[in-house]
Homo-oligomer: A and B are copies of this chain.
């Protein structure tokens, strides 16, 4: 398998196409990660949530990490990791334009609000049903792309081990 670093432009393309992401936040040193729907406008990421542990964490510490991947197989995948800062967009005049912008972006995703809102609808938490829009300002990002290498292409046509790594790891455990 060959792994290449992706350019910033390639990372941006991944963000533009994606809607499903994994969002990591933390509170008091305990990391937390959940799947979320996010939308990218070429500059920032936008999301929607209702109150819950994720929002508690991001209010306590706005530093977040977002991972967006496309894993076709163990040897063919892309993964983009974004470091960013959470910024809530409360329903006040100051944020009206940005909230509408977020709404426009997010509504293009089919049923984008459901994972966020459904817990309220079905798990009887009416008090928490205040739609919370947020922006994640991107502080930096990296991306990697994997593809099968020449050795693997060859080995697919033979019975030889896929690479020297497999032999090396076997030695670790057989010596």
Interface positions of A (Cβ within 8 A of B): 1-3, 20, 22-26, 29-35, 61, 63-67, 69, 71, 74-75, 77, 79, 81, 83, 91, 99-100, 103, 110-115, 117-119, 121-123, 131, 146, 149, 162-166, 169, 172-173
A26 CB contact (under 8 Å) in B29, B91, B112, B121: B29
* A75 close to B172 (CB less than 8 A): no
- A35 partner residues in chain B, CB cutoff 8 A: 67, 69, 71, 77, 79
Determine how many copies of this chain the complex contains: 2
Q: List 21 A-B contacts (CB under 8 A).
A: A3-B123, A22-B22, A22-B24, A24-B31, A24-B32, A25-B31, A26-B31, A29-B63, A30-B63, A31-B32, A31-B64, A31-B65, A34-B67, A34-B79, A74-B110, A74-B111, A103-B173, A114-B165, A115-B146, A117-B165, A121-B163
* A165 close to B121 (CB less than 8 A): yes
- A61 partner residues in chain B, CB cutoff 8 A: 29
The distance from the CB of A109 to the nearest CB of chain B, in whole angstroms, is 8
- A146 partner residues in chain B, CB cutoff 8 A: 115, 118
- A32 partner residues in chain B, CB cutoff 8 A: 24, 31, 65, 81
Known: A24-B26, A34-B79, A113-B166. 4 other contacts (CB 8 A): A33-B66, A34-B81, A100-B173, A114-B165
